Amino acid sequence: MFSGVVRQVLVATMFTIVTTAVFGIAYPLVVTGLAQLLFPGQANGSLIERDGKAVGSRLIGQPFAGPGYFWSRPSAAGKGYDATASGGSNLGPTNAALLKRVEIERARLQATNPGTPVPVELATTSASGLDPHLSPAGALFQVPRVARERGLDEALIRALVQAHTDDREFGFLGEPRVNVLELNLTLDERYARSAKR
């Protein structure tokens, strides 16, 4: 009987060692290696680099407060766009604090472009709180302000938004979208200014 218990302990120990080696070491190394080989950009966080320095990720929103920039959606991730605090606000649609915050944001945005309805996404947060994208309508709403602040024709800025509008994935998944960081980086490259982010 004692030898049977020892045998089971040895089998269980060997099984643990083998499965740890295969699934805890070999498998992650193979997957990481394949990801680095086949999809290096995505495997490293979809970082955007300028002059050899990472300035952000295509996957995480960034705050832009300067009037000469396109503004991202509000973040529910505490202060700024902290990826470690990802998540929605968990406030329901009838919550007084949420309604007040949305109304304040809507009024602030409306003041920058009077007479034009504010797209709902500009006054509300995304489910993750880190959304790097706007709808084309959300970006186009901001064109008059950005053009005015940069002293440019609205048609130039509108064309820039159109050029940065990504279509649905595979032609049918999701909605058209504009990556705010990429749009603002191109804006600075083409129409350099010292606007504060």
Which band of pLDDT confidence, cut at 50, 70 and 90, is reported for residue 78? low
User: Is 74 within 8 Å of 62 (Cβ atoms)?
Assistant: no
Average pLDDT, stretch 47-61?
A: 82
What pTM value is reported for the model? 0.75
Confidence of residue 193 (pLDDT cuts 50, 70, 90): low
Please determine, for residue 54, whether its predicted confidence score (pLDDT) is greater than 50: yes
Q: What distance lies between CA 54 and its chain's CA centroid? A: 15
Listed in sequence order, the residues at least 6 apart from 128 whose beta carbon sits closer than 8 Å to its beta carbon are 77, 86, 87, 88
The answer, yes or no, to whether residue 196 has pLDDT greater than 70, is no
β-strands 165-166, 53-57 pairing: unpaired
Rounded to 5°, angle at Cα 90 from 66 and 55: 35
- The reported pLDDT for the residue numbered 87 is 66
195 Cβ neighbours under 8 A, 6+ residues apart: 66, 67, 68, 69, 149, 150, 188
Q: Find all residues with CB under 8 Å of 121, minimum gap 6, and list them.
A: 73, 134, 135, 138
For residue 18, pLDDT over 70 is answered with yes
